[in-house]
Copies of this chain bind each other. A is one copy, B any other.
Amino acid sequence: MRKVERVATRRTVNRLSSDDRISDIMAAARAAVTEKGYEKVLISDIAERAGVVEGTIYRYFENKRDLLVKVAEAWFGGALSEDSRIDSIDGTMNKLRHLAWRTLSIIRREPVLARFMLMELRPDPSYRGSPFFDLNQRFTSDALRVCKQAIASGEFHDDVSAPMLRDMLFGCIEHRTWAFLRGEGEFSIDEVADGVAKVIYRGMLAAPAAASSADRLDEITGRLEQVTQALLKKT
């Protein structure tokens, strides 16, 4: 607790509106974190890019994490709102494929931000209850709803739960994306979206088509036999 001696060497002061300051800092933070990732990015770096001094950042944001959480929220919220509604898509298979596709698109456009969000933020204890939690919830709940509906209507088997299916979808997508970020090979968004949707859809289909095909075949075969017999009698 030593007494503090301060020197009065002060330059000019930048006076702007709060909104401008905040958006400057967030833009700088976004650029910096996109380049370096959460651990590596320094507050001093962000401050320099934004043209302010470190202390100024702490006037507008609680701490480093708070700042970057807000950056991630702004980005993810914006990306989500661009998307068309899932209900307008016909058929469970197409719905699943679209969900996979849109997730891959968002992640692929800003992989470092996505990584920060899904791997650094999500594990945090304070994650639940944060506005980001709601965003992510809204995101994955579409998939959950589609699966539940398919199970309830009898289109899907009921021997695997809807949350399991949701986790297969997003788990595959994320796993594949992180592997890509590590440099373990390329992949095509369309191919992954189609593959994962296809496996889930085919794996869960309660196969009414196959059953009814067999029934109808039996029926047709029977009638054909009748006709054949009738024809034979005539000759």
Residues 148 to 185 of chain A near chain B (Cβ within 8 Å): 159-161, 164-165, 167-168, 170-176, 178-179, 181-184
Expressed in whole angstroms, the minimum distance between the Cβ of A175 and any Cβ of chain B is 3
A164 to B188, CA, bound (A): 11
A198 to B217, CA, bound (A): 26
Contacts of A224 in B (CB 8 A): 220, 223-224, 227
Expressed in whole angstroms, the minimum distance between the Cβ of A227 and any Cβ of chain B is 6
Also in contact, A213 and B202, with CB within 8 A (given A164-B196, A182-B128, A195-B164): no
A122 to B214, CA, bound (A): 49
B227 pairs with A182, CB closer than 8 A: no
B209 pairs with A204, CB closer than 8 A: no
**Taking the full assembly, how many copies of this chain does it contain?**
2
A196 pairs with B209, CB closer than 8 A: no
B172 pairs with A192, CB closer than 8 A: no
A168 pairs with B167, CB closer than 8 A: no
Expressed in whole angstroms, the minimum distance between the Cβ of A11 and any Cβ of chain B is 30
A192 to B1, CA, bound (A): 56
Expressed in whole angstroms, the minimum distance between the Cβ of A60 and any Cβ of chain B is 25
Contacts of A200 in B (CB 8 A): 199, 203
**CB of A127 within 8 A of chain B?**
yes
B223 pairs with A181, CB closer than 8 A: no
A196 to B192, CA, bound (A): 17
Proximity bits, A192-224, B CB within 8 Å = 1, else 0: 100110111111100101100110110011011
A182 pairs with B223, CB closer than 8 A: no
- Of all chain B residues, which has the CB nearest A196? B168
Contacts of A88 in B (CB 8 A): none
**CB of A55 within 8 A of chain B?**
no
Query: Could you give 12 example pairs across A and B, Cβ below 8 Å?
Result: A123-B178, A123-B181, A128-B182, A164-B195, A168-B171, A170-B171, A198-B203, A199-B199, A202-B203, A203-B204, A207-B210, A220-B224
Q: Supply 6 further A-B pairs (C-beta < 8 A) apart from A160-B198, A168-B172.
A: A164-B195, A164-B199, A168-B171, A175-B175, A199-B199, A217-B220
